[in-house]
Amino acid sequence: MLEDTGLTGVLKDGEEAVYAVGEHFLSLVTFLGCAPQISLTDEAAVQGQPVCRICLHDFDAVQLLESQPASTLRCAACRTPQRRPSEPEHNQQLTCPECGESSPLFRFDWRRSAAFGCFFVEIENVFPHEAVPADRLMEALEALSGHGWDYFYLSR
Ligand SMILES: [Zn+2]
């Protein structure tokens, strides 16, 4: 289905769920900044620059993918920094000591540096915060899956 949208192209040799970018990639992902540096194919890759790839991650149970170092977790209501649980669970209820807002952990503000989920579409080798999924991509993912989608940036 992702291939039909033009997000993904051919499966990379020897890989299970890693794809080249598809023919509509540049209309599905918007690049901010005046001169984004991206290489879309091996042939056109700038010397020393890794090529953009799409990796699918499919987990049986909800996982937390989190940047290293992690951003400060904040209350979504009042923005107060929160103590991060040592073993975060997505549905774990947390109460903000500042404003009393109580929500499951996944609703707190992870500052787009982490996310809980079972299925992830990772776009590799773009600069964090330079690439933003276009509305068209988010709508296509929602239509394909029947669920809402969000995005974040994973630094490792
Ligand atoms: Zn709060």
Q: Please give the structure tokens belonging to residue 93.
A: 């209820």
Residues 28, 140 contacting (CB under 8 angstroms): yes
Residue 129 lies in a domain: yes
User: Rounded to the nearest whole angstrom, what is the distance from the C-alpha of residue 19 to the centroid of ligand 1?
Assistant: 41
User: Rounded to the nearest whole angstrom, what is the distance from the C-alpha of residue 102 to the centroid of ligand 1?
Assistant: 8
Residue 123 lies in a domain: yes
Tell me, yes or no, whether 58 and 83 share the same domain. Answer: no
| pLDDT (0 to 100) of residue 33 | 81
| pLDDT (0 to 100) of residue 66 | 95
27 dihedral zone (left: phi>0; alpha: psi -120 to 50; beta): alpha
In the chain, the number of structural domains is: 2
Tell me, yes or no, whether 4 and 55 share the same domain. Answer: yes
| pLDDT (0 to 100) of residue 132 | 94
Question: Taking ligand 1, which is a single-atom ion, which protein residues have CB atoms under 5 Å away?
Answer: 75, 77-78, 80, 96, 98-99, 101
- The residue ranges of the chain whose pLDDT is under 70 are none
- What sign for the dihedral angle of Cα 48, 52, 53, 55? positive
Residue 85 lies in a domain: yes
Does an H or E element contain 115, and which?
A: strand 114-124
Instruction: Name the nearest CA neighbour of 25 among 36, 16, 13.
Output: 36
Mean pLDDT of the chain: 92
Residue 67 lies in a domain: no
**Exposure of 94 by Cβ count < 10 A (0-12 exposed, 13-18 middle, 19+ buried)?**
buried
Q: Please give the structure tokens belonging to residue 72.
A: 């400060």
| pLDDT (0 to 100) of residue 93 | 96
| pLDDT (0 to 100) of residue 67 | 94
**SS3 of residue 94 by DSSP:** strand
Secondary structure (DSSP) of 49-75: PPBPEEEEEEEEEEEEEE-SSPPPPB-
User: Rounded to the nearest whole angstrom, what is the distance from the C-alpha of residue 95 to the centroid of ligand 1?
Assistant: 8
Domain that holds residue 103: 72-109
